[in-house]
Amino acid sequence: MFRLLSRHGKRTQSCLTSQRRYEHHRAVIAIRREDINPWERRAPLAPRHIKELTNAGVKVLVQPSNSRAIHEKYYMRAGAVIQEDISEASLIIGVKRPPEEKLIPRKTYAFFSHTIKAQEANMGLLEDLLKKEVRLIDYEKMVDANGYRIVAFGQWAGVAGMINILHGLGLRFLALGHHTPFMHIGMAHNYRNVSQAIHSVRDCGYEISMGLMPKSIGPVTFCFTGTGNVSKGAQDIINELPVEYVEPHELKDVSETGDMTKVYATVLSRHHHLMRKSDGIYDPLEYEYHPELYTSHFRTSVAPYTTCLINGIYWDPHTPRLLRRTDAQRLMRPPKVPPAATEGSPVLPHKLLAICDISADTGGSIEFMIECTTIDKPFCMYDADQHIDHDSVEGNGILMCSIDNLPAQLPIEATEYFGDRLFPYIWEMLPSDATRPLDEEDFSPQVRDAVITSNGVLTPKFEYIEKLRERMEKAQILKKAGMKRVLLLGSGYVSGPVVEYLTRDEKTQVTVASVLLKQAEELAAKYPNTIPVTLDASSQEGHLDSLVKDHDLVISLLPYSFHPLIAKHCINRKVNMVTASYLSPAMKELQSSAEEAGITIVNEMGLDPGIDHMLAMECIDQGKADGCTVESYSSFCCGLPAPECSDNPLRYKFSWSPYGVLLNTISPAIFLRDNEVVSIPAGGSLMDSTLPMDFLPGFNLEGFPNRDSTKYAESYGIETAHTLIRGTLRFKGFSKAMSGFIKLGLINSEPCPIQHLTLWRDLLCKQIGLSSSISQDAFEEAVYERIGKDELAMDTLRWFGMLSDELVPRADNVLAALAKHLEARLSYDKRERDMIILRNDVGLRHPTGELETKHISLVVYGDPTGFSAMAKTVGYPAAIAARMVLDGEITTKGLVVPMTKEVYGPALARLKEEGLHFMSKSSLQE
């Protein structure tokens, strides 16, 4: 504490200088709402800190929050402006990390990011900070010249943690058959303030001093590790009990013969338990530089005589652990000579009953603390013999409390304490401009050395994070020997069936790499042998290469534009690859390189392309084997909402990229009809080429051609066909409704940034050359004229709120804004299901002269509680292809598409096993 006060004294003059600098300059700072954890009720600054800022002419914005412990009216009285939009501020501060999607680009932020140890849970946040060119000041790295943290909640973590574990001890003693005075103490957050909590602790202490502790449990002993603010805060609470402090080596005696009218405590420093492995000596200077040479004898010298361990030490992977799993097993053994006991006065099963790990370092100094507890579920029992923990205070084991946001239980005091330590540095943070180079900022070493990201890169002190992260990932991926390792790129719509199918084999391990770590973690939680990692393939080529190197096969479910890049890394690392996307010209250029590398790259292994190819080739190859000539080929496919879920003007919902769906409506198309090449130009004519499709009349479908169908004459070996068309299906009405968007110029990907608070009505006026001041009636009449007086198209615009004052989503162009707007209204509800329809019609001329048309249909419905139809029909083919490559069933090197019998034969058979049933009928014509 003295060190902190001294440090603040040194900064007083510079703070005053900075304060004067802002007396005539309107700086803007914002306090963001804490929205990651419902228990997070703290703020980085209290109202009295805000008052100083506003008095100096600084504008302070505070996001409204009903969960903040200090009411916003007190911030308003201090001069803050309470408002949702904080984009005006150049400096945005909080306590905990914001959600990635709420980060505002090119701003300076200050919060606890928990990224400095490459914590996987926060790597997605780090990626977003870099991508959005945010300057991050991390409180955890604000330290003084001696390396001590100067902006922290440590003391209040100790206070709350100690209150909690005393409450937990009361519950644990009760579960073991003993009522104790600890039952008077509640959880820290149940008190209005710390004074109330201390009153309860004193009540407990009074009863202990009166000799009301059960004799059969023996003297209660506490061990505090560390001498910093955390440990001191915890000791402040135990000091309210009748406590006697002893040296660690004295703990054995007092634990056996101590006075039952008091409790005993010891404070463990490094010299008490650390010793060099070679000779048992402790050298503090050597330990600072070579902690790996040391071990701890805590497990034998102190732990056996400790009732409750309060752990507050920082742990590094190179430093010795206090307790390992094997130590816990020994400490849980009952005493060799148990004291006399009766049914009403039972003895304790072992001395060490509870651990409060305030450091909350999972897998750290307490090795078996592998998952933090939470404020709403604060305790679990660790059973070392079973190596499990369960949410209880009963049964065998050691009571564990390891909450990682303890100060949130005492939010008002914690806010005041933290704000006092942060406030002197706010003045130099205020002028920070995240668009300027970091070197141009006038930061003190305490602030400069805490900047983790700036200008889109990790700062030099923190460049190690990327390497550390890769090492940690590598260790996790390679942990299990004898596994076939698959790297799955993407965690979106269709990833689930891929992971589910591949991990049925216990010898297959899947690494799910995604920009959205939460999605990858959800997959990993559902399926065995699945590892989630964060990866942005567009900006982390080095990380991508590292992951590719550690796997046997890569499945890319990323957009097709990424595939050439990924394929090049696979070729370089001699790793096989599978994609569900079309074989692009850029991929075709890699044919010889893939062959030379001796790898297989399977393409077009999804639904369309994929299943459509396999059904076509099965029919065509069989027809040729029967001596037939192919005269016509027609294939239409779609992903649609099930009919009962199609209640919107487009009769459509998105199961893949909305941007791609919309862009396809203005694409060109080429197909062959009665030996005549039909070409549809780009720009919107495609929607005018839609025809009714009555092969499944109950569905009321329409269809339009898709891309260049004529190239499949050579691919399928059907140059004899006079008609060849591949197309897209929609429910009838889609093309008319979509034509309205096209005629209004909304399917336009030209750069045209949509500004904040733009209205749809104003955007449409701009698109058709009207003044935004035009009357509503005249506006709607002009729109009606522009879309060709089409009632359905007009009703569509009304349904989507685009003739009103609804806001246009912010985007880089009009098409992207429309895609966001439609996606928000046309996404699947959890209870809704999608479906896919695929129809192939193959005209075969038999040697006898008969014309047989094979009608092959596939209709698949999604399962609202399982996989969508799109996920099944894209994911399972890709997974099956991956399995075939892993097992050596596909041996062809280079680029492979599923048009040969050795691929489509087994694949179609296995798709049937997954519930995809193909219907085939024939019609004959003389």
Catalytic residues, which ones?
608
Per DSSP, what are the bridge partners of residue 841? 634, 855
Give the integer Cα–Cα distance in Å for 638 and 690.
Answer: 14
Nearest to 417 by CA among 99, 3, 4, 860: 4
Token output for 566: 């990924």
Token output for 483: 């596994």
Give the CA radius of gyration of the chain. 34
CA trace torsion 576, 582, 583, 587 (10° rounding): -70
Token output for 613: 């190819």
Q: Diameter of the chain by CA atoms?
A: 109
Give the integer Cα–Cα distance in Å for 4 and 151.
Answer: 9
Give the integer Cα–Cα distance in Å for 35 and 24.
Answer: 34
**β-strand pairing of 135-138 with 243-245:** unpaired
Give the integer Cα–Cα distance in Å for 652 and 648.
Answer: 7
Residue 563 carries which side chain, given as an amino acid letter?
A: H
Q: Where are the alpha helices (DSSP H) in 787-893?
A: 791-799, 814-825, 869-886
The torsion angles phi and psi of 159, rounded to 5 degrees, stand at -60, -50
How many CB atoms are closer than 10 A to CB 35?
Answer: 16
Give the integer Cα–Cα distance in Å for 472 and 795.
Answer: 55
Contact 841, 858 (CB under 8 A): no
Return all residues near 210 (Cβ < 8 A) that are at least 6 apart. Answer: 261
Contact 872, 916 (CB under 8 A): yes
Per DSSP, what are the bridge partners of residue 275? 295
> How far is Cα of residue 503 from the mean position of the Cα atoms in its chain?
21
Contact 854, 920 (CB under 8 A): yes
Region for residue 365 given its phi and psi (left: phi exceeds 0; alpha: psi -120 to 50; beta: otherwise): alpha
Region for residue 601 given its phi and psi (left: phi exceeds 0; alpha: psi -120 to 50; beta: otherwise): beta
Give the integer Cα–Cα distance in Å for 306 and 289.
Answer: 30
Return all residues near 145 (Cβ < 8 A) that are at least 6 apart. Answer: none
**β-strand pairing of 243-245 with 263-268:** parallel
> How far is Cα of residue 597 from the mean position of the Cα atoms in its chain?
35
**Three-state SS annotation for 780-791:** HHHHHHHCCCCH
User: Which residue in this structure is represented by tokens 């060799």?
Assistant: 336
Token output for 595: 């062959």
Q: Return the ∠ at Cα 725 (arms to 713 and 915), rounded to 5°.
A: 95
Give the integer Cα–Cα distance in Å for 682 and 117.
Answer: 51
Residue 53 carries which side chain, given as an amino acid letter?
A: L
Token output for 177: 């058959």
Helix or strand run (H / E) with residue 109: strand 108-112
How many CB atoms are closer than 10 A to CB 105?
Answer: 13
Give the integer Cα–Cα distance in Å for 904 and 621.
Answer: 11
DSSP state of 755: P
Contact 315, 359 (CB under 8 A): yes
Contact 305, 255 (CB under 8 A): yes
Strand order of the β-sheet with 108-112 is 81-82, 59-62, 28-31, 91-96, 108-112, 135-138, 451-454, 457-458
